[in-house]
Structures are given as C-alpha cells and as structure tokens.
C-alpha cells in the first residue's frame, strides 16, 4: 500500500499538485476500488445478456471514428441484418462518460469509424462501423441511446 501511495505522490508532484495525506488517499483509493468493482460486475452482467442475444458479441473493442477520436466500447455485435450494435455499460445513473466518449459517440453516428488494434472475433482491425451507428447506453434503469 505504501508503494502505491508513493507512486501517487510522485504523479501529483510531477503534475505540480499537492497530494492528499496518507489517510485521505487510502479512503479515496478504497472508494474508487469499490466503484471499479461495481462497474465491472455490472458490465459482466450486461455483457452476458448481450451475448445471449447476439452470438458474435465481443467485449472491449477499440474504435477510431473517421474524425480521429479513439473510443473503447464495452460491447459490440451485429444482428441478423448486419447492423452493428454497440453498447456502453454504466453501473449507475450518475456514472459519467469519458471525454472521448462525449466526443466520439456522436462522431460514430455522423461519420462512422473502424476497429483499431487486434480486435476480436468478427471485429478485427479495419472492420468498418457505418455512419448512423448509435451507441446504446445500458444503466440499471434500462437502455437508452447516447444521443437521446
């Protein structure tokens, strides 16, 4: 635990910021670990349901929009008509989007994108995501679209 705190302090000092004290850092660190665990459990459950609906479903695929923004999506599949289905899993009503999600999800709808990196299953490097692809947002309250 001490080495993680030391690494945290080094990062803060390099950024010109003052680090939290050890006790305050420990409490914040435990809170974030709990939230990460909650998010992972929710994502696991959501992907399980998604993969039962779409046999070619894959997790954590990185896409770059045709406008240049890179986003990693939680789940991707295609339906029987070839339509690409993308989901982002958020474990609470207040779980925020990353800056790249805020920028990239509308870009996917407007101009499309392509899979970068190795990819998985049907969704390997170069796989084209067509424009008009809307990202589904899955929260405990239900499924909506990013642009709603």
- 50-102: pLDDT as tens digits: 999 999 999 999 999 999 999 999 999 999 999 999 999 999 999 999 999 99
- For the cut 80, the answer to whether the pLDDT of residue 1 exceeds it is no
Range of the domain at 91: 3-145
Bridge-partner residues for 35, per DSSP?
none
pTM as predicted: 0.81
- CA dist 98 to 62, 93, 106, 127, Å? 14, 15, 13, 23
Strand 128-129 and strand 113-115: pairing? antiparallel
Of 99, 79, 97, 113, which is closest to residue 145 (Cα–Cα)? 97
* Mean pLDDT over the full length of the chain: 94
């Amino acid at each position: 635990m001490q080495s993680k705190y030391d690494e945290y302090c080094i990062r803060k000092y390099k950024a010109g910021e003052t680090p939290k004290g050890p006790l305050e850092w420990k409490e914040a660190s435990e809170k974030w670990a709990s939230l990460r665990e909650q998010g992972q459990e929710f994502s696991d459950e959501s992907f399980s349901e998604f993969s039962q609906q779409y046999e070619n479903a894959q997790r954590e695929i990185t896409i770059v929009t045709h406008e240049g923004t890179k986003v990693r999506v939680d789940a991707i599949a295609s339906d029987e008509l070839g339509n690409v289905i993308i989901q982002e899993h958020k474990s609470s009503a207040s779980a925020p989007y990353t800056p790249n999600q805020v920028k990239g999800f509308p870009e996917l709808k407007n101009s499309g994108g392509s899979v970068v990196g190795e990819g998985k299953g049907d969704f390997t490097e170069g796989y084209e995501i067509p424009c008009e692809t809307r990202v589904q947002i899955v929260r405990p309250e239900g499924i909506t679209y990013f642009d709603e």
